Structure 1
Amino acid sequence: MLSGQRPLDRHPLVVVTNREPYIDERVGQGIRTVQSAGGVVAALDPLLQEHGGYWVAWGSGSADFQAAPDGRRQVPPRNPRYTLCRVALSPEEVEGYYASYSNQGLWPLSHLLIERAHFSREAYGFYAAVNRKFAQAAARVAPRRAWVFSHDYQLALFPAALKRARPDLTIAHFWHIPWAPFTVFRLCPHYRALLEGLLGADVLGFQTGGDVFHFLNAVQRTFPEAVVDRELGVVTWNRHTTRVSAFPVSVDYAAIRELALSRRVSRMARGLRRQLAHADLQLVVAVDRADYTKGILHRLEALADFLERYPAWHRRFVLLQVVVPTRTEVDEYRDLFTEVLRRTRALNEEWGRDGWQPVVTIRRSLDRARLTALFRAADVALVSSLFDGMNLVAKEFVAAQVDRRGVLLVSESAGASEELTDAFPVNPLDPEGMAATLDEALRLPPAERAARLGRMQAYLSRHNVYTWLQDILDALEEASLNPSWLTTDAETSPSLIGESWTDS
């Protein structure tokens, strides 16, 4: 858990994300409340439960505003500890801000998939308007001199909009996905506005040092008048200072390890290992959303090459891939999921023999216990992202490997590869190379497997999700002690933020 949390007693915390931590859904005649999955929720929900505060997010649940007509919901429902403030979005706003501009524009561009990126002025209009909505909601609920921790590419305009409205707030914004080189980033028609929005933050976090480098380069190329200190990671522009740094996001190492050692997960893992031993198989696992950035088709191409070049492994391994449908409202994602299933079927038809199939596909998400059991039982985990800000699957696998049996193969273009240096690096665009690395991993002696995992586990135990959060809170504290606020008359402009914010 966190240490040194006392500043939160002086600086209430306001978390701002696109996705909400608790969702109210209609179930028959009633309402069911479910907690969202994901590392950010897992890290920040306990913090707000301990210290109180506010969480501003899009109210996306089918019964969100039935459960809380004014958008304010005390959570968790059974033991309320903080206030969830839901932002209502129309279907047109969801389409323009989220589906179109964020997921069909910024997402592919940031992952260097230029040919897939599509921008429109209409979608940007919705994106800007929704970012203002989030800023207005946060400005209304935030107590004076609160700390605000906002997240990701859906809210790039949010920091400056909030800073103009509430210069007393100290804002940290974390960009979870990669930051593209300037020659790619500038293809976004609104790149200047995005930079201006992010520079409203007092602390701006990225996953890797490479992301920080590219962001600072974008600022320097776009705003020649800005003062950019690359050594310190500080940008001074428009009478405001932004501290820019890498804060690699991580997992709750201790919690995953505890779950992996639990009676239920141990029983499931032993059962899976018995099945594998009976069939004399090594288990290779891959867990992804059906997103084109994850390199799933490239992985299947490498597997076909592996089966052709290394026939000694026939009937001696199985790839169990969990492919979770995502963003199914977008044609490209539906088409990708269909193509993954088609190629998997063709691969099994070509290479399967006597009841053995090289690939087994699970087409839905697994609950946390089953996923942890799968990771614990696996001999190899394969992360084949074309480009990834971090990829927490790699870290979850390492944490769950309490028996230190497995080998991690991780894409060189995933942020996790920079930290998990005892993993085997793979290039998703080199199928022959990935096939050769898989062969090497499957042949790796148990002692070397254990040694590699031991070193990575020691690293993750020291660099977990709580140290990630603590580093950002420390940066917020430093920024609040040395403020550099925008000059604005927003405090006397109630038309923007409402007249009652000072009473929070």
Structure 2
Amino acid sequence: MGTVPTSRPLVIVTNREPYVDEKTKHGIRVVQKAGGVVSALDPMLREVGGDWVAWGSGSADRMTAPGGVRPVPPKNPRYRLHRIYLSPDEVSGFYNRYSNQGLWPLCHMLIERVQFSRQAYSVYRAVNAKFARKVARESQQRSLVFSHDYQLALFPSLLRQLRPDLAIAHFWHIPWPAFTVYRRCPQYQEILRGLMGADVLGFQTSDDVDAFLTAVSRTFRHVQVDRDNSRIHWQGRAIEVRAFPISVDIEAIEELVQTPRITRLADGIRHRFAQNGNFLGVSVDRADYTKGIIPRLEALQEFFSRYPHRRGQVNFLQVVVPTRSEVQAYRTLYRQVEDMTRRINEEFGQEGWMPVTTIRRSLDRPRVMALFRAADFAIISSLFDGMNLVAKEFVSAQVDKKGVLLLSESTGAAQELESAIHINPWDPEGCAASLEEALSLSPEERQGRMNAMRRQIHQHTLYDWVTAILTTLDSVTESYVQS
């Protein structure tokens, strides 16, 4: 991944852990978690060593981590994973209720779904304090602490109270809402104070930065907010607030999709779903209401109704991964997706052709990348999304440069991938027209659009994201850490 931009000790702090130990009937199985943060930070810690603090959620985690410490990777340990164990009540209050029924829908501006509870907040704060105590104990002097996301919003301030010598960067992966929405959180002042314990606050887009600065200036009238330099002066410190758009490791994806195995998988997918010149469209989402799965199905229904000549020509394969099944709203959504998919297939299906096929489980990374390479188009229909790395993964996997990306304008990725066909997920008629436009593009137009997006990702990779944040943190804190 290149040179890590600091020689100071590193501590990564996330809700989810990079390696999970699970009990099986054949013994303990180690699962390496996928995802943008893990795929960037795990190689970095393998290179330089350090510590990763996370919730130990695996069924065999305690067995493999005496004293809460698990050397990882298991076969060739390079750094230490420190696991924090949560009781069922803590998981419920901290994760399910306050984080995922409160902050998650609030930040995605789906106000009607927001459920806040003072009791859940009390648990949320206690778990954030547990993380802070663990990091305070395990961190060396002069360490750089890199914490993440909405589950740990109070963590930076709680850690600073315990270890004012540490340098702290916190990255907020999801959107930051407009202030009129944000202040509906009963604890909105506490959340802001928690985040301002960091030295560097990272967001996905400049719009998120602007919304956060507005929240601070509107909430704390006495605080100096320097919008020209994206800086907050707070409690004798200058907090850097910057946009650091997260990305993917495009070179690793290119290498993967061109292996013989993935090439065969992609060919097999096309043989099954795109015979006789048919178009294959794909989507890959968690069963989450922010991903716009129902609006996307409404757009497909409109498409097949408005463009009847496309019936029998277009196959759409949607991967819908069950998630957060303990939350009623997610279980309800999954049933709605199944019901609407069935209605579309009953209305438009013909002998030997079914418009929409659903895979109702998680696919491993190689199979997802094979699906992306095989596809003629992908639809990303998020209602709101901080970035949406699926869009960048699809582009990265398109080494044949024949696919078209239809991308919600409500994603952070839309600000970078300008050559995608941008769609409004709330407009099914417009989405249907955009899909017809995508299918009508010449091969040269498709290739030109894909080349432009691939150049952008090559110039702004996942490792550039890590480097930018850690370089900023190292720079802005070196002077006072030394003192």
Q: Deviations over 1:73-104 (max 9, x none)?
A: 11111111111000111110110000000000
Offset at residue 237 of structure 1 (A): 1.4
After TM superposition, the structure 1 = structure 2 runs for residues 384-403 of structure 1, keeping only pairs within 5 Å, are 384-403=381-400
Q: Deviations over 1:337-390 (max 9, x none)?
A: 111011101110111011211100011111111111110111110000000000
Partner residue in 2 for 1:7: 6
Offset at residue 473 of structure 1 (A): 1.1
Offset at residue 484 of structure 1 (A): 8.4
After TM superposition, the structure 1 = structure 2 runs for residues 337-486 of structure 1, keeping only pairs within 5 Å, are 337-483=334-480
Task: Write the distance in 2 (CA, Å) between the matches of 1:293 and 1:400.
Answer: 24
2:338 matches 1:330:
no
Partner residue in 2 for 1:34: 31
After TM superposition, the structure 1 = structure 2 runs for residues 192-231 of structure 1, keeping only pairs within 5 Å, are 192-231=189-228
Q: Deviations over 1:32-52 (max 9, x none)?
A: 111111110110011111111
Preserved CA contact (<8 Å) 1:96 1:126: yes
Preserved CA contact (<8 Å) 2:378 2:405: yes
* Gap change, CA 1:150 and 1:359, over 3 Å in 2: same
2:141 matches 1:144:
yes
Offset at residue 30 of structure 1 (A): 2.1
Preserved CA contact (<8 Å) 2:5 2:470: no
Offset at residue 16 of structure 1 (A): 0.2
Preserved CA contact (<8 Å) 1:200 1:240: no
Task: Write the distance in 2 (CA, Å) between the matches of 1:45 and 1:63.
Answer: 21
Offset at residue 209 of structure 1 (A): 0.3
Task: Write the distance in 1 (CA, Å) between the matches of 2:77 and 2:429.
Answer: 54
Task: Write the distance in 2 (CA, Å) between the matches of 1:279 and 1:450.
Answer: 22
After TM superposition, the structure 1 = structure 2 runs for residues 57-456 of structure 1, keeping only pairs within 5 Å, are 57-276=54-273, 278-456=275-453
Preserved CA contact (<8 Å) 2:274 2:315: no
Task: Write the distance in 2 (CA, Å) between the matches of 1:102 and 1:81.
Answer: 31
- TM (normalized to structure 2)? 0.98
1:18 to 3, 9, 15: 15
Offset at residue 458 of structure 1 (A): 0.8
Task: Write the distance in 2 (CA, Å) between the matches of 1:481 and 1:51.
Answer: 19
Offset at residue 271 of structure 1 (A): 2.5
Offset at residue 189 of structure 1 (A): 0.2
Q: CA RMSD in A?
A: 1.3
Preserved CA contact (<8 Å) 2:20 2:58: yes
Q: Deviations over 1:208-262 (max 9, x none)?
A: 0000000000000011111111111110012222100000000000000111111
* Gap change, CA 1:74 and 1:361, over 3 Å in 2: same
Q: Deviations over 1:307-343 (max 9, x none)?
A: 1110110100111000000001111101101110111
Task: Write the distance in 2 (CA, Å) between the matches of 1:424 and 1:352.
Answer: 27
- TM (normalized to structure 1)? 0.94
Offset at residue 469 of structure 1 (A): 0.5
Offset at residue 276 of structure 1 (A): 4.6
Question: What SS does structure 2 have at the residue aligned with 1:312?
Answer: helix
Structure 2: unaligned runs, 5 residues or longer: none
Task: Write the distance in 2 (CA, Å) between the matches of 1:96 and 1:277.
Answer: 46
Q: Deviations over 1:438-495 (max 9, x none)?
A: 000011100010011001101101101000001001111112224389xxxxxxxxxx
> Which residue identity is paired with 1:25?
E
Partner residue in 2 for 1:493: none
Task: Write the distance in 1 (CA, Å) between the matches of 2:2 and 2:381.
Answer: 32
Task: Write the distance in 1 (CA, Å) between the matches of 2:32 and 2:265.
Answer: 24
Preserved CA contact (<8 Å) 1:2 1:467: no
* Gap change, CA 1:484 and 1:54, over 3 Å in 2: closer
1:46 to 37, 43, 49: 43
Preserved CA contact (<8 Å) 1:204 1:245: yes
* Gap change, CA 1:190 and 1:312, over 3 Å in 2: same
> Which residue identity is paired with 2:248?
V
Question: What SS does structure 2 have at the residue aligned with 1:7?
Answer: coil
Preserved CA contact (<8 Å) 2:156 2:168: yes
Aligned length: 483
> Which residue identity is paired with 1:68?
A
Task: Write the distance in 1 (CA, Å) between the matches of 2:124 and 2:19.
Answer: 23
Partner residue in 2 for 1:490: none
